[in-house]
């Protein structure tokens, strides 16, 4: 797509008010491009946030993790996104992609740099990752909890080096206000951990002086930038939350920073508005990206802690929305083998957990059952106890006695059909506003997706995953969402993983996908609102109206999921137009698929297996177990089978492709049955 075309569609996504704000943005960028001074502020008397627990109370799991992490970090053995092993210099190269080993250091005005179009495979996410200061926070933690002076010295030394190589508003680390907000949060925690107080046994005057200079160098330009250049309009998603929270945390710790940004009163008002705008009434994040559910919640929790520490009261409506958001994450994520829907870059806010390889599992456990041996409980237990219960177990939810919506006879979907309630009927737990339902049969767990494309007119982090089903057996993922890959490094792969064809939603053959992706974070429009409802027989029915570019006009797909013995029966049909369609059941990496004959297949992974039975109605069945078979089974989809279990990680995995060619005048229903089998 041409740059001119992208700008045209991006302009269409804006409201008139947003266009005015973009004009103001340009004026502010011009004014700040050469800025070298900021309002004078007193940073010598920090506020109450963050209030740290006693070092001697730290659980053993955290102590051991910090000992291990310090050795790895100082040796340059860093891990990005919780899984990507890289070797980092001392001091780190702060504008360097450590995956492709390319240095892009620049002193050009950040307002003239485009982080979406770096060349030679360089990814801005990899460039930004060291400057999120996660490893530096771990060093500060070790200094505080373990009394490790070496870790404290190195943390301050690297911060000083960062300031030298990243002057305000120049280079790649000043191209995103979200990154600026994140650094404000991290610096507040590091400052608290490195500042002598009653919990510190000794003082280090030289280190204290260096830290004081860092406050003066880092804080005013960061708060100024995060406030003046915060996201707005159709770009106001988790980025805006992060920018506001960065200002809230910094201002709660250093109140005079309000001179560089805004008062806590104004920041709180804006933040509370965004909590209610970005989380639906049932708790689901409207970006329709599961890792951003947790990422956004983390931001909000830190804001809440900071505001309460500063003596401010949080509205009951916001607290209830945060409680529902935590409940939503617990309900729909499987912590033992997590697979997200929508975009997932494995982002987290502050590394308060013990192990970055188990971030989801640690948060999930802390939400459900806080215990003193957990790292998250150590750092945030006091705030949680003040808040009260975060999530309830299934027995404590009361069913809402509302009739099942009758969506199926209407010709077009309407907004009025969607209910903002959570209902448990029979075997299904349904978050109706967010369009996610969870069902269990024996050891099988099914997650049904009948959601919107994403948040707002851009739907930036959404995927074409409506009607998709993910399946776990004994909490081992077997049928998966294909993942994200990378945002900028490989556009073809990014488009494939976000496409309807890569998910197991029914897809019309030889029809251009709709809505169409216009860029990494821009869709042409939203698709029609999908529908979902539990049926009286215990099944679940979803439908999705689609437009296409040929003369046939609208299409509608119906997918019904019924309980069948020890498994799920999935029935697919297209409306009355009798057009061919296909379904790709994508299995998880490391799966083995065996042909049992008579269109029966056994999928085995990590010691569990599941039998897949395909009905005789399907015109073609392709069991693709080797990547070399893709060219024959999917000549028009060379990336079929490619999945992304983690950000910037892709592998190939087997899949089952089914092709339907409806015949005659009778409605044709095409079924696939998934049955749990004994452990292999």
pLDDT at 413 over 50: no
**Within 13 A of 612's CA, how many CA atoms are on the CB side?**
26
C-alpha to C-alpha distance for 399 and 423, rounded to whole angstroms: 5
Q: Note whether 289 and 344 are within 8 A (CB).
A: yes
Residue 40's pLDDT band (cuts 50, 70, 90): very high
Is the bond into 91 cis (omega within 30 degrees of 0)? yes
Place of tokens 């990378």: 486
Q: Is the pTM of this model over 0.85?
A: yes
Place 6 in a pLDDT band, splitting at 50, 70 and 90.
very low
- The radius of gyration of the chain from alpha carbons, rounded to an integer in Å, stands at 26
pLDDT at 266 over 60: yes
Q: What are the tens digits of pLDDT across the range 425-446?
A: 447 888 989 999 999 888 999 9
Task: Give the model's pLDDT for residue 420.
Answer: 34
Instruction: Identify the pLDDT of residue 503.
Output: 95
C-alpha–C-alpha distance, residues 656 and 49, integer Å: 53
Please state whether 179 falls in left (phi above 0), alpha (psi between -120 and 50) or beta: alpha
| Of 496, 562, 517, 564, the residue nearest 535 (C-alpha) | 562
Whether the CB-CB separation of 471 and 445 falls below 8 Å is answered with yes
What pLDDT is recorded for position 28? 85
Residue 417 pLDDT? 34
Of 423, 503, 421, 412, the residue nearest 462 (C-alpha) = 503
Identify the weakest region by mean pLDDT among 48-62, 258-272, 524-538. 524-538
pLDDT at 191 (0 to 100): 97
Taking all residues of the chain, what is their mean pLDDT, rounded to a whole number? Answer: 87
Which of 169-183, 262-276, 459-473 is least confident?
A: 459-473
**Beta carbons of 670 and 573 less than 8 angstroms apart:** yes
What do you get for the CA distance between the two ends of the chain, in Å? 48
Length of the chain: 680
74: nearest Cα among 142, 146, 163: 142
**Helices then strands, each counted (H, E), the chain:** 16, 26
pLDDT in the model for residue 59: 98
Spatial separation of the C-alpha atoms in residues 71 and 511, rounded to whole Å: 54
Could you tell me the domains of the chain?
A: 33-387 (1.50.10), 421-676 (2.70.98.70)
Confidence of residue 404 (pLDDT cuts 50, 70, 90): very low
Higher-pLDDT residue of 125, 530: 125
């Amino acid at each position: 797509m041409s740059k001119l075309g992208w700008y045209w569609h991006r302009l269409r996504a804006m409201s008139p008010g947003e266009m005015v704000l973009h004009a103001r943005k340009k004026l502010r960028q011009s004014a700040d491009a050469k800025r070298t001074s900021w309002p004078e502020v007193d940073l010598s008397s920090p506020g109450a946030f963050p209030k740290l627990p006693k070092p001697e109370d730290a659980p053993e799991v955290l102590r051991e993790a910090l000992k291990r992490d310090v050795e790895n970090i100082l040796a340059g053995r860093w891990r990005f996104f919780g899984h990507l092993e890289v070797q980092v210099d001392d001091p780190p190269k702060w504008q360097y992609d450590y995956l492709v080993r390319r240095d892009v250091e620049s002193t050009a005005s950040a307002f003239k740099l485009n982080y979406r179009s770096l060349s030679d495979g360089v990814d801005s996410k990899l460039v930004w990752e060291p400057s999120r200061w996660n490893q530096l926070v771990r060093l500060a933690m070790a200094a505080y909890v373990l009394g490790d002076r070496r870790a404290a010295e190195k943390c301050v030394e690297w911060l000083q080096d960062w300031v030298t190589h990243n002057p305000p508003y120049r280079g790649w680390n000043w191209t995103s206000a979200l990154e600026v907000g994140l650094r404000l949060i991290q610096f507040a925690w590091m400052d608290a951990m490195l500042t002598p107080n009653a919990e510190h046994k000794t003082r280090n005057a030289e280190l204290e002086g260096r830290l004081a200079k860092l406050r003066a160098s880092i804080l005013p330009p960061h708060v100024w930038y995060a406030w003046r250049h915060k996201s707005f309009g159709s770009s106001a998603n988790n980025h805006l939350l992060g920018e506001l929270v960065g200002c809230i945390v910094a201002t709660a710790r250093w109140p005079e920073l309000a001179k560089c940004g805004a008062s806590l009163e104004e920041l709180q008002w804006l933040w509370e508005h965004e909590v209610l705008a970005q989380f639906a009434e049932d708790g689901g994040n409207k970006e329709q990206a599961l890792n951003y559910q947790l990422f956004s919640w983390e931001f909000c929790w830190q804001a809440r802690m900071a505001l309460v520490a500063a003596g401010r009261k949080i509205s009951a409506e916001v607290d209830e929305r945060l409680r529902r958001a935590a409940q939503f994450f617990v309900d729909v994520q499987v912590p033992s083998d997590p697979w997200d829907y929508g975009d997932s870059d494995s982002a987290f806010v502050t590394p308060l957990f013990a192990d970055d390889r188990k971030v989801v599992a640690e948060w999930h456990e802390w939400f459900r059952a806080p215990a003193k041996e957990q790292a998250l409980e150590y750092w945030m237990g006091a705030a949680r106890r003040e808040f009260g219960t975060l999530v309830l177990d299934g027995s404590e939810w009361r069913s809402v006695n509302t009739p099942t919506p009758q969506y199926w006879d209407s010709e077009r979907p309407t907004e009025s059909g969607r209910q903002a309630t959570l209902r448990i009927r029979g075997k299904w737990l349904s978050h109706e506003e967010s369009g996610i339902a969870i069902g269990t049969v024996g050891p099988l767990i099914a997650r049904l997706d009948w959601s919107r494309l994403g948040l707002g007119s851009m739907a930036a982090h959404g995927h074409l995953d409506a009607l998709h089903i993910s399946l776990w057996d004994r909490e081992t993922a077997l049928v998966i969402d294909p993942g994200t890959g990378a945002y900028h490094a490989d556009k073809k792969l990014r488009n494939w993983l976000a496409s309807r064809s890569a998910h197991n939603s029914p897809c019309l053959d030889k029809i251009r996908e709709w809505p169409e992706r216009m860029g990494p974070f821009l869709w042409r429009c939203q698709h029609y609102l999908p529908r979902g409802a539990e049926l009286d027989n215990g099944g679940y029915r979803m439908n999705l109206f689609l437009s296409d570019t040929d003369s046939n006009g609208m299409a509608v797909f119906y997918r019904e999921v019924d309980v069948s013995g020890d498994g799920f029966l999935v029935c697919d049909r297209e409306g009355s137009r009798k057009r061919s369609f296909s379904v790709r059941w994508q299995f998880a990496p490391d799966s083995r698929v065996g042909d049992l004959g008579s269109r029966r297949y056994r999928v085995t992974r990590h010691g569990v297996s599941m039998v897949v039975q395909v009905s005789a109605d399907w015109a073609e069945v392709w069991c693709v177990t080797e990547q070399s078979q893709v060219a024959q089974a999917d000549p028009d989809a060379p990336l079929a089978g490619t999945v992304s279990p983690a950000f910037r990680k892709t592998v190939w995995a087997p899949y089952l492709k089914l092709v339907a060619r409806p015949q005659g005048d009778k409605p044709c229903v095409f079924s696939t049955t998934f049955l749990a089998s004994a452990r292999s």
